[in-house]
Chains A and B, each alone.
Chain A
Amino acid sequence: MSIIELKHVTRLFLVHERKGVFRRERRTVEAVRDISFSIAPGEFVGYLGANGAGKSTTIKMLTGILAPSSGEIRVCGKDPFRSRREIAYHFGAMFGQRMQLWWDLPLIDSFDQLHYIYRVPDDQYRARLAELVEILDLSSFLKVAVRQLSLGQRIRGELAAAMIHTPAILFLDEPTIGLDLVAKERVREFLTQINRRHGITIMLTTHDMADLERMCSRLIVLADGQTVSDGPLDELFGAYKLERTLTVDLSEPCESMIIPGARSVSVDGPRQVFRFVAQDLSSADLIAQVAARAKIIDLTLKEPDVEDLVRAITKAES
């Protein structure tokens, strides 16, 4: 029995394009094309794709904000667009940069307000709030107006706000964006905990590799409005060898170096860029080999990020 189900879902948008001063052309764009997948209760799914791949459109259809142009969607067994108000009790949502809290009111007032909006019984609300305040460590700023909170505090507040009515599903769009490392860890810990302890189904989009590694058990990857990959995280990570990037600045311009296990991506004066797979070559080894041939002044090492993963999967599957 799945809690989220999409069958051959397509969503078209009509866009107007300017052609010259007076001429405008109408064109339909498929934001999402024939997507099908289902998610079981308690899964923690990373929903990935390049910008404009159709992630937000999917989430908006799942939350009943947009209707699909064709196909069928079921969330908790119901059509979200038709039963928007009803479905609202079953999910919580947090869209990174978008505010759900009341800007001028103390955080606690927003929570109180949401408990009435979602018709949460008083005793249940008090217990829930106490739990959220404890795991998200909100007690020190509960009475502070939302506009005076730091980003990290606000995000924690938003997360709690999305959880007040004990939803079965949580939709999260970039929940850790802009947070410092400590705050990120705290958010991840919280999400993992509610997923394991309460069996809440979570679907999240992110640009942070660590978010995926630390929390998700399954990845669904979108490209150009279609699902290109869907499977357990470990399998996907094993199947696609992701490259690290080493950028070195040498004391003087130098010819492109040939080093086994690494490929030279660009040579720009004294700056050279290499890509390599961690399993084939260690970074220490690569740096030593470069240093043996030229004097290194500066270097940076970049781990593969979510964009690299999405790019690799998209390339392999299309």
Chain B
Amino acid sequence: MSTIAIYARLVRLQVRSQLQYTTNFLMSVLATFLFTSLDLATILVIFSNIRTLGGWTAQQVLLLYGAAASSYALADMLLGSLDRLPQLIREGNFDSMLFRPRSPFFQLLASDFMLSRGGRLAQSIIVVIVICTVYIHIAWTAGAILVLTVAVISGAVILGAVWVAGACISFWIEGAGEFVNTFSSGALFVTQYPLNIYAQWLQATVTFIIPIGFVIYMPTSYLLHKAPIFDMPSVLRLSSPLVAGAATAAAAALWRSSIRHYRSAGG
């Protein structure tokens, strides 16, 4: 059985066991639902005081939020187990993933799959579809669907790469768990508002250094015919799959060198 098939099998087993606790499962779906609703409410509160934010209307920001949240939820569903890494390292349990004859990365990803994270993905996708159809009247052409789908998937890959890079820190610095968590929640916050409202240095950082700007902002601003930031060529904003590829390669290299550096807990 290939490593991917083993991963899929373990995910299936966990889903099955989580579905046995119906109340528990429904509660966590409800919790993420409330979480998403609060985020939406925050945006609406902001727009009850202003008309536009950086030239974006409420509906457009909601689209940005929905698409960014979809990327985030997709990445979180697949890579959520990364959150456990600092604890696994501290308690020495990461060892057992190293002495099995399979990729420790996939073992880690498969170690804590939570179906309830899928609930968030579904909600975010619904937000995007409703906003696009009812408020922005985006024509659902094949092109628009393709741009949005590719954007959400590439966005998830970029976020994932950033999280993996962040998680690698716990191999080098003990007790870096807080830092890693700040990384993932910070990522969501930055991506869900138009980048052009931020200071220049922050825009530059999230565009060229940690390419979170490419997660959703770039393709969405293309779709809504906004002026590109940094006067970049308009089409470059559709390059997020390429950025995703590069970020993945960089994160993979960092992961491999971190594993070699790993020194395990408990002397």
Q: Give the interface of A toward B (CB within 8 A).
A: 13, 31, 52, 54, 56-57, 60, 63-66, 84-86, 88-89, 91, 93, 95, 98-100, 102, 104-106, 109, 113, 116-119, 145
Q: How far is the CA of A93 from the CA of B264 in the complex (A)?
A: 15
Which residue of B1, B14, B99 is within 8 Å of A64 (Cβ)? Answer: B99
Whether A98 touches B91, Cβ cut-off 8 Å, given contacts A63-B99, A116-B1, is yes
> Which residues of B are found within 8 Å of A118, using beta-carbon distances?
100-101
> Shortest beta-carbon distance, B64 to chain A, in Å?
36
Min C-beta distance of A189 to chain B, whole Å: 25
A84 touches B99 (CB 8 A): yes
**Contact status A102-B101, CB under 8 Å:** no
Which residues on B sit within 8 Å (CB–CB) of A98? 91-93, 95-96
Which residue on B lies nearest to A53, using beta carbons? B267
Please report the C-alpha to C-alpha distance between residue A31 and residue B10 in the assembled complex, in whole angstroms: 37
Q: Which 3 A-B pairs have the closest CB atoms?
A: A88-B101, A116-B1, A85-B101
Question: Would B267 and A113 count as touching, CB distance under 8 A?
Answer: no
Residue picked from B6, B13, B101, B266, most chain A C-beta under 10 Å: B101
Q: Are B99 and A105 in contact (CB under 8 A)?
A: no
Indicate the member of B6, B96, B264 with the most A CB atoms within 10 Å: B96
In the complex, besides A63-B99, A88-B101, 8 extra interface pairs with C-beta distance below 8 angstroms are A95-B95, A98-B96, A99-B96, A106-B17, A109-B13, A117-B101, A119-B101, A145-B17
* A47 CB, min distance to chain B CBs, angstroms: 15
Contacts of B13 in A (CB 8 A): 102, 105, 109, 113
Whether A64 contacts B100 by the Cβ 8 Å rule is no
In the bound complex, CA of A119 to CA of B102 (Å): 10
Q: Which residues of chain B from 92 to 116 have a CB within 8 Å of any chain A CB?
A: 92-93, 95-96, 98-102, 111
CB pair A93–B99 under 8 Å, yes or no, is yes
Say yes or no for B263: interface residue by CB 8 A criterion.
Answer: yes
Cα A31 to Cα B17 with chains together (Å): 42
Interface of B is mostly: loop
B65-105 residues at the A interface, CB under 8 angstroms: 91-93, 95-96, 98-102
**Known A100-B96, A104-B17, A105-B13; contact A65-B6, beta-carbon cutoff 8 A:** no
CB contacts (< 8 Å) of A91 on chain B: these are 99
Q: Does B9 contact A (CB under 8 A)?
A: yes
- Assess whether B95 is in contact with A60, with CB atoms less than 8 Å apart: yes
Question: Chain B, 249-267, contact with A by CB distance < 8 Å: what is the 0/1 string?
Answer: 0000000000000111011
- Contact indicator B267/A52 (Cβ below 8 Å): yes
Partner of B267, one of A31, A63, A64, A104: A31
In the complex, residue of chain A having the shortest beta-carbon distance to the beta carbon of B262: A65
List the B residue with the shortest CB-CB distance to A60. Answer: B264
List which B9-42 residues lie within 8 A (CB) of chain A: 9-10, 13-14, 17-18
Asked whether, in the complex, the Cβ of B264 is within 8 Å of the Cβ of A66, the reply is yes
Q: How far is the CA of A119 from the CA of B10 in the complex (A)?
A: 15
B93 proximity list for chain A (CB < 8 A): 98-99
Chain A residues in 8 Å Cβ range of B101:
85-86, 88-89, 117-119
**Nearest CB of chain B from residue A68's CB, rounded to whole Å:** 12
**B91 contact set on A, CB distance < 8 A:** 98
> Smallest CB–CB gap between B198 and chain A, Å?
34
- Within 8 Å CB of A109, what residues of B? 13
Q: Which residues of A contact B14 (CB under 8 A)?
A: 102, 104-105
- Bound CA span A117–B17, Å: 20
Q: How far is the CA of A60 from the CA of B262 in the complex (A)?
A: 11
Which chain B residue shows the least CB distance to A113? B10
Taking the nearest CB of chain A, how far is it from the CB of B116, in angstroms? 13
The docked-state distance in angstroms from the alpha carbon of A95 to that of B96 is 9
Contacts of A63 on B, CB cut-off 8 Å?
A: 95, 98-99
With contacts A57-B267, A86-B101 taken as known, whether A117 is within 8 angstroms of B95 at the C-beta atoms is no
